[in-house]
Structure 1
């Protein structure tokens, strides 16, 4: 089913890539789309790019298929921080309102909410809990629904969490969390940088108000790209934070200063769109994401993880394991050795993994072959211990 070819992913010529939770290698169609758009501008300037001006709408349509929504609910952004900033600074908070988040969130999903303290809003942080199978020491792990219930009050307006924690790989049960928020009239905002493209993300089915994700991890896209979903009723709550010509219905009628912002998610695409990057991300979605159902992708990733777990040296690399809806594309290991050193030495042998916050992270994607997994484990097992 999965086309795990070097033609689609030339990185395979260099080695075994198991770091899709960091920056993924571009598939060949994305590189081609970038080059073609650059060629068009080189040879024709603005007029040469005219055929590419519709590419953002094509990207929105592709992203809408991935998220099972309408294209009008999806915007093209540069990164997760940009999307979260527009939500946090545009939300109609009142003094005394509360935001519930997790103490070890990635900065993109922490600082925008922290900033709201200047508006008299309280940021309440879920404590870290040992949610996985294994002692993490002082390393971050995850949070519990029991703490969510305990810390939610009548003043809680937003719950903002990552679908998958970038350190441990702990995944939130978004279906359960979304149902909880629906019962209490709370807006659920999700950072899906570490899940979109690897796990199913169904915002309309799961009562998620907003989803923000970077494009360069599990979506295989170029850096500087991201996707931003908002539910229509949530979008109507948000004040405008960043505005420009592209925010307005009149578009390039630049001297028409009538206040006519788009009511769709296009309102968040406020200024000159990086056409090259949009074309590349669209190519990634069409060539490497949409051809395979999200459930099938997750199942293949978990199969590859199980293959890793069957042969890796458990005395040297102790896995942090999650079950059911808390499992993700990130397989984190605890080791007595320096994870950064292991990462660097493995790269010298053509095996690419990542290290974060005391964990060694292995993150195969559907494009990873069994042979690449075996090679990676063999290299890790054979590295000289510190």
Structure 2
């Protein structure tokens, strides 16, 4: 079913790449599209731009289809931090309002909300909780409790800002249940999807999510410095723009028209010049990969590859964090008996690429890997453990 050739994914010629939760190899079709734009700029500069007028509509159409939303809800941004910074700083908080998040969030989904405390907003951080009865409770990050979140949310709670998938442990939120809870109480649910979009289904309109931000260089296999933002119309109506430029204005290229007349759709966040080579890359990625394969099929293949890895892993020496189906993600984090950073380096010398976070070794295969690669990676883990 899946096209897994080295022609499309040349990284396979040298590496077993199991770190799509970090910085992924760029999809070759995206690289070609970006290079094609740059070559056109070399040859003609301004004179060639009109030939790329369809890039943004293709980008918006593609990601709208991926998230089952409308193109006008989609924005091109440069990073998750930029997207969440615009939302947090533009949100109409009043002193005493509350934001609920998790104590071990990734910095891009922590600092934009933390600085709202200078506006008199209270930031409530859910404590770390261990959902694995078979796994000894430790201080290292694991997950959080939906019951606890529901208890701390009150009449002053305006925003719940949480990652779909926690970058350390791989713990995935039940967004259907969380979205339903927030929608019933008029709370804006804002999701950092850097570790899920491109791997797990994510349907913000159906699930009651106000905003989704995701960097493009992880599961989306896109260029570094490119990201996507979904916002609901209701959320945009609340916000005050904190970044401004000609790109967000209805008058567009009439640069002497200084009226404040911004778009009300997703273009509100595209305030200035975009990196068009990145837009070209994204447009090709969604068309070649995420239109060709359903996100459910991609998720199932990622989980199958994880299960194959686990079937060959020495479970006497390694303790994987195996969450139940509701909280499973593309990240399989493994507790190791030895120095995690040392193990990562030793695996890299065998061309098996993984990463370490919070003492866990993270194994994150994507759909294009072969079974033999995953089995070989597990055997490398076992051989290194046997050598001590």
Q: Is the TM value for this pair above 0.5?
A: yes
- Note the residue ranges of structure 2 that are not aligned, 5 or more in a row: none
User: Does structure 2 conserve the Cα–Cα contact (< 8 Å) formed by 1:220 and 1:284?
Assistant: yes
* Counterparts of residues 43-62 of structure 1 (less than 5 Å): 43-62=43-62
CA distance in 1, matches of 2:6, 2:137: 37
Structure-2 separation of matches of 1:13 and 1:255 = 53
**Residue pair 1:134, 1:321 contacting (<8 A) in 2 also:** no
Q: Does residue 1:322 correspond to 2:323, yes or no? A: yes
After TM superposition, which residue ranges in structure 1, 4 or more long, deviate above 4 angstroms?
A: none
Q: Deviations over 1:164-216 (max 9, x none)?
A: 00000000000000010011111100000000010000000100000000001
Q: Name stretches of at least 5 consecutive residues in structure 1 with no aligned partner.
A: none
Residue 289 of structure 1 deviates from its aligned partner by 2.3
Aligned equivalents of 1:165, 1:343: Cα separation in 2: 20
Contact persistence 1:136–1:334 (CA under 8 A): no
Match of 2:16 in 1: 16
Residue-pair matches, total: 386
What is residue 345 of structure 1 aligned with on the other side?
Answer: 346
CA distance in structure 2 between the partners assigned to 1:302 and 1:136 by the alignment: 25
In 2, Cα distance between equivalents of 1:354 and 1:288: 25
What is the CA distance between 1:225 and its match in structure 2?
0.6
Q: Aligned pair 1:68/2:90, yes or no?
A: no
Distance 1:136 1:282 in 2: 44
- Residue 276 in structure 1 maps to residue 277 in structure 2: yes
Separation in structure 1 between the aligned mates of residue 361 and residue 137 of structure 2, nearest angstrom: 12
If the length of structure 2 is used for normalisation, what is the TM-score? 0.98
Which residue in the other structure is 2:97 paired with? 97
What is the Cα-based RMSD across aligned positions, in Å?
1.1
* Rounded Cα–Cα distance in structure 2 between residues aligned with 1:210 and 1:169: 21
Matched with 2:219 is 218
Task: Provide the secondary structure at the position in 1 that maps to 2:205.
Answer: coil
Contact preservation (8 Å) 2:180, 2:208: yes
What is the match of residue 375 of structure 1?
376
Q: CA deviation at 1:136?
A: 5.3
Partner of residue 360, structure 2 = 359
2: CA distance, partners of 1:13 / 1:294: 25
**Aligned with 1:371: secondary structure?**
helix
Q: Give the deviation of 1:354 after TM superposition.
A: 1.1
Q: Is the 8 A contact 2:18 2:352 kept in 1?
A: yes
8 Å CA contact retained: 2:310, 2:378 = no
